[in-house]
């Protein structure tokens, strides 16, 4: 993800400061299709359209800031993942990336399953009609109520994350007269090359049960002893925004070794292996994500090879992409409010949203792109920092990016690849009203999550 400083290219100040940016693009009006949703284009008048609708019209109708989600792109990505893995594997969309009832319906129609990690996500999934047996329930500290609900509605699997949970789920299921299908989430000790906060398979963190020291093997022993649970497989999720499959290779190797140990000790071959999600997407032109077909091929080969070596039947594989499906399908549209050129540094462009609709830059040092979308411009590129309207200097949406030097208040700018972990991690900081999500398809736009209102804020504040 790292980019080197490039003090090159025209600008209204002569020297560019140090920063994480590439050389300015030769034409700021060109939209790199790598980072934009599939139906995004510029029309003959220079205005950007999505699903055939001009963003200026969308801003008028739905206001800013707002997330616009390209439904055709979302569906195409679901199909690409389902096709890539085929009928002998299962794709679970990770709902934490972005979940709404419309999205659940699309997933269902495109043949995907759903991974949820809270009672709220479970409610949304069930309310939208996702069959419970196509839902996996995750979480490192599921409450008794969440477990009881998940078991009673009959979720397809609960992914066990601790020794306490093995007993909790087994007892709840037994009390309800059920046998719950479960997987055990293990930590394989892989260092994923991503930000520390989104890496999850090294041992010193809260998720999963370590393979190290025989803890995972002990978890298997305890699970197999309890009647309320049926152990169907082992789960591993190594982290997020990962671009190469070498981490998965190590994870698969270690999980398969555990499967072989289980066979040797208990005489059973577990039928499933889940390799989690985590595949990266392009946030900027410098990122090169892999296609689902490539990923599926690589993961299938890795698991098959490891199983052959261990003389095991190849288990059914499942994966849980979240970001790779929804991330690229949406952009956030903002209106420019103020512009402050700081000589020798950069120009601060304040927009009408900020860290309340995209916390990723502040939290993970994430990089994003940005473009002027309400018109074209032939002005020189200026190094800009897009900031929000919150009372915090870390309220940065795009750290370093080039925008045309004639940018003016009232212009609309858009930040692509904000479909994942932006609306789902949005907050009400400074009593900001969380933006709507508007689905756009074939010339039609409809709100799928409405904008919050001040009445919503006051409703929670009971006085």
Active site positions, annotated: 391
Closest CA to 232 of 321, 306, 133, 308: 133
- Select the residue interacting with ligand LLP from 70, 71, 115, 161 (CB under 6 A): 115
Closer residue to ligand LLP, CB minimum distance, 233 or 404: 233
Nearer to ligand LLP by C-beta: 278 or 404?
A: 278
CA distance 269 to 253: 16
The single residue listed with the structure tokens 């736009």 is: 445
Interaction between residue 94 and ligand LLP (CB under 6 A): yes
Least Cβ distance, residue 81 to ligand LLP (angstroms): 11
| Nearest one of 69, 178, 83, 71 to 133, comparing CA atoms | 178
Coil/strand/helix, residue 275: coil
When binding is defined by CB under 6 A, the residue of 97, 220, 231, 414 that contacts ligand LLP is 97
The DSSP code sequence of 385-424 is EEE-SSS-TT-EEEEEEEEETT--TT-EEEEES-TTTTGG
Question: Token pair for residue 408?
Answer: 């003016």
Q: Which two tokens stand for residue 462?
A: 């009971």
**Whole-angstrom distance, CA of residue 410 vs CA of residue 60:** 12
423 binds ligand LLP (CB under 6 A): no
Asked if 243 interacts with ligand LLP (CB under 6 A), we say no
DSSP secondary structure, 236-280, as one string: ---BSSB--SHHHHHHHHHHHHHHHHHHHHHS----EEE----B-
Q: Which two tokens stand for residue 105?
A: 């319906």
Site membership for ligand LLP, residue 449 (CB under 6 A) = no
Give the nearest distance from C-beta 254 to ligand LLP in angstroms.
17
CA-CA distances (angstroms) from residue 22 to 2, 5, 284, 367, 373? 10, 6, 10, 12, 21
DSSP string for residues in 316-339: EEEE--SHHHHGGGEEEEEEEEEE
CB of 359 to ligand LLP, least distance (A): 8
Q: Among 228, 278, 292, 419, which residue sits at the site for ligand LLP (rule: CB under 6 A)?
A: 278
Contact 162, 184 (CB under 8 A): no
Nearer CB in complex with ligand LLP: 20/375 = 20
Site track 369-408 with ligand LLP (rule: CB under 6 A), x = hit: ----------------------------------------
Report the residue number, 58 or 159, with the smaller CB distance to ligand LLP: 159
User: Of these, 289, 322, 328, 416, which contacts ligand LLP (CB under 6 A)?
Assistant: 322
Q: Which residue in the set 421, 434, 437, 445 belongs to the binding site for ligand LLP (CB under 6 A)?
A: 421
Contact status, residue 460 vs residue 453, Cβ threshold 8 Å:
no
CA dist 39 and 124 (Å) reads 27
234 touching ligand LLP, by CB under 6 A:
no
Query: Residue 315 or residue 404: which is nearer to ligand LLP going by CB?
Result: 315
138 binds ligand LLP (CB under 6 A): yes
H-helix or E-strand containing 399?
strand 396-404
Distance in Å, CB of 314 to ligand LLP, minimum: 21
Q: How many residues bind ligand LLP (CB under 6 A)?
A: 23
116-135 binders of ligand LLP (CB under 6 A): none
Stretch that binds ligand LLP, among 47-55, 90-98, 102-110, 309-317 (CB under 6 A): 90-98
- Cα–Cα distance, 278 to 135 (Å, whole number): 19
CA atoms of 48 and 355, how far apart (whole Å): 24
Compute the least distance from the CB of residue 360 to ligand LLP, in Å.
5
Examine residue 321 and tell whether it contacts ligand LLP (CB under 6 A): yes
Q: 3-state class of 379 per DSSP?
A: coil
48 lies in the binding site for ligand LLP (CB under 6 A): no
Residues forming contacts to ligand LLP in the complex (CB under 6 A) are 94, 96-97, 115, 138, 198, 237, 240-241, 276-279, 320-324, 360, 364, 420-421, 425
């Amino acid at each position: 993800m790292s980019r080197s400083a490039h003090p090159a290219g025209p600008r209204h100040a002569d020297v560019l400061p140090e920063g994480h940016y590439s050389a300015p693009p030769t034409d700021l009006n060109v939209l790199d299709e790598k980072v934009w949703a599939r139906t995004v284009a510029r029309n003959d008048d220079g205005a950007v359209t999505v699903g055939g609708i001009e963003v200026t019209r969308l801003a008028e109708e739905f206001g800013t800031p707002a997330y616009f989600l390209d439904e055709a792109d979302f569906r195409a990505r679901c199909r690409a993942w389902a096709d890539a893995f085929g009928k002998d594997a299962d794709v679970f969309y990770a709902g934490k990336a972005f979940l709404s009832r419309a999205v659940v319906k699309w997933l269902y129609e495109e043949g995907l399953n759903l991974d949820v990690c809270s009672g709220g996500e479970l409610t949304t999934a069930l309310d939208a009609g996702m069959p419970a047996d196509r839902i996996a329930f995750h979480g490192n500290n599921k409450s008794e109520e969440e477990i009881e609900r998940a078991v009673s509605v009959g979720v397809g699997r609960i992914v066990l994350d601790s020794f306490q949970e093995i007993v909790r789920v087994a007892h709840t299921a037994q009390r309800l007269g059920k046998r719950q299908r479960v997987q055990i989430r293990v930590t394989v000790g892989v260092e994923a090359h991503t930000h520390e906060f989104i890496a999850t398979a090294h041992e010193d963190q809260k998720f999963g049960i370590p393979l190290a020291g025989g803890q995972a093997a002990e978890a298997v022993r305890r699970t197999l002893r309890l009647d309320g649970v049926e152990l169907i497989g082992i789960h591993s999720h190594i982290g997020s925004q990962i671009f190469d499959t070498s981490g998965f290779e190590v994870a698969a190797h270690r999980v398969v070794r555990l499967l072989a140990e289980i066979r040797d000790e208990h005489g059973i071959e577990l039928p499933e292996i889940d390799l989690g999600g985590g595949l990266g997407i392009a946030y900027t032109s410098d990122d090169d994500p892999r296609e689902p077909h490539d990923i599926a091929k690589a993961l299938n080969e890795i698991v098959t090879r490891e199983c052959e070596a261990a003389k095991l039947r190849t288990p059914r594989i499942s994966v849980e992409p979240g970001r790779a499906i929804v991330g690229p399908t949406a952009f956030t549209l903002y209106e420019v409010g103020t512009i402050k050129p700081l000589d020798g540094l950069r120009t601060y462009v304040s927009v009408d949203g900020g860290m309340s609709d995209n916390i990723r830059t502040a939290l993970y040092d994430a990089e994003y792109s940005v473009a002027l979308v309400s018109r074209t411009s032939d002005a020189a590129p200026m190094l800009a920092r897009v900031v929000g309207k919150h009372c915090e200097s870390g309220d940065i949406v795009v750290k370093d990016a080039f925008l045309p030097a004639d940018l003016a208040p009232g212009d609309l700018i858009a930040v692509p690849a904000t479909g994942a972990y932006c609306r789902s991690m949005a907050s009400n900081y400074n009593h900001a009203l969380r933006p709507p999500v508007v689905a756009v398809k074939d010339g039609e736009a409809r709100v799928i999550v409405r904008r919050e209102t001040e009445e919503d804020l006051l409703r929670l504040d009971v006085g």
